Amino acid sequence: MKRRESLALTGAIAASGLANPRHLLAKTLSRHRAEAFQVANDPLGVSIQWQDKSVLRYRSVEAPPPRAEIGPDYTRGGYVSELRTPHGRLVTDDFPPNHLHHHGVWFAWVKTAIGAKPRNPDFWNMGQKSGTVKFVSLDGVQSGGRGVEIRTTHRHVDLTTSPATDVGQESWRVFMHAPTPGVPNLFIVDFDLSFVVTAAESLHILKHIYGGLGVRGHRDWNGAGAVRFLTSEGCGRPAGNETRVRWVDMMAHVDGARAGVTVLGHPGNFRAPQPVRLHPTEPFLSMAPAQLGDFELAPGQPYRSRYRLLVHDGELEAAAIEAHWQAYSQA
């Protein structure tokens, strides 16, 4: 680790109560060999386990939705359906009743236009039946002392044509860092996402308040006062909604104790620091560059997005989160 990274971490992480200063060099990048994860077959995809408990589930299988009242149009694969803290507390939700198209941690575009006579597929709101995201392949799973890597491919499908046509291909690299000795309350998960337009024409992403990366919090966190949001600028909701942020934390109670998930945006991302959507009454956030206006994705030109998620037991203080972001910004 570079000296300036170590100095950035000194004090701030220790002050959070989630670390001890003597472990600072291993804190964010998990370079010390640690207790190993296990990778298990899951009926719906891949499960990463720690201490014999699932802590991350990637859903590949496009199985029928989990409840009979959910229509087949909401069938989807290609996302992380479940994240749990080191103490086993669930901090995400899948198919929540008030937004059936929300899925743990996922990626999709919302308002789009493509073609000379523009078609407008919506790959996010699947109930509109104009677009969807499909799982294509599990390209690799690697496990070692530093953590577990999952690589996958998805495709964005335009349902406004007959037959349906592929518009773009999405490649995911999810890396879950091995837990670091002395840091019992934190998992670190990196998402490296690349989207490439495979159609002959550009895909235009139109201005909208959400779209791109989405994160859905625990179902019990519904309600205006049930969850605490905190942005890098010190704002909650509603003040933090539609503001540009380096990071945003979502935290509330699970099984009688505090737990949460923090999203760090990499400074190399398009339009960084990206604007964030904070839903006023639901545990949902989206890193949404389209809030700043339309943009064009040309065929064959990769659009890369990088995010680091901190899945934590207890409250993660702002100074500690900022220290993690400073380290991540140089990764």
Q: What is the pLDDT of residues 10-25, one digit of tens each?
A: 333 333 334 432 233 3
DSSP string, 15-74: HTTS--GGGGGGTTT--S--SPPEEEEETTEEEEEETTEEEEEEE---PPPSSTTS-GGG
- With contact defined as beta carbons under 8 Å apart, do 232 and 265 qualify? no
Question: Reduced to 3 DSSP states, what percent helix, strand and coil does the chain have, rounded to the nearest 5?
Answer: 10, 45, 45
**pLDDT value of residue 35:** 56
**pLDDT value of residue 124:** 97
Q: What is the mean pLDDT of residues 104-111?
A: 98
pLDDT at 30 over 70: no
Environment class of residue 110 by beta-carbon count within 10 Å: exposed (0-12), middle (13-18) or buried (19+)?
buried
Sign for the CA dihedral angle at 51, 52, 55, 56 comes to positive
Which residues on neighbouring strands pair with residue 141, listed in sequence order?
A: 150
Q: What are phi and psi for residue 323, nearest 5 degrees?
A: -65, -40
Among 142, 149, 138, 56, CA closest to 105: 56
List alpha helices for the chain, DSSP H.
Answer: 3-9, 12-15, 318-328
**pLDDT value of residue 275:** 98
The pLDDT mean for the chain works out to 90
How sure is the predictor about 170, in pLDDT bands with cuts at 50, 70 and 90? very high
pLDDT at 76 over 70: yes
The pLDDT tens digits of the residues spanning 36-51 come to 799 998 889 999 999 9
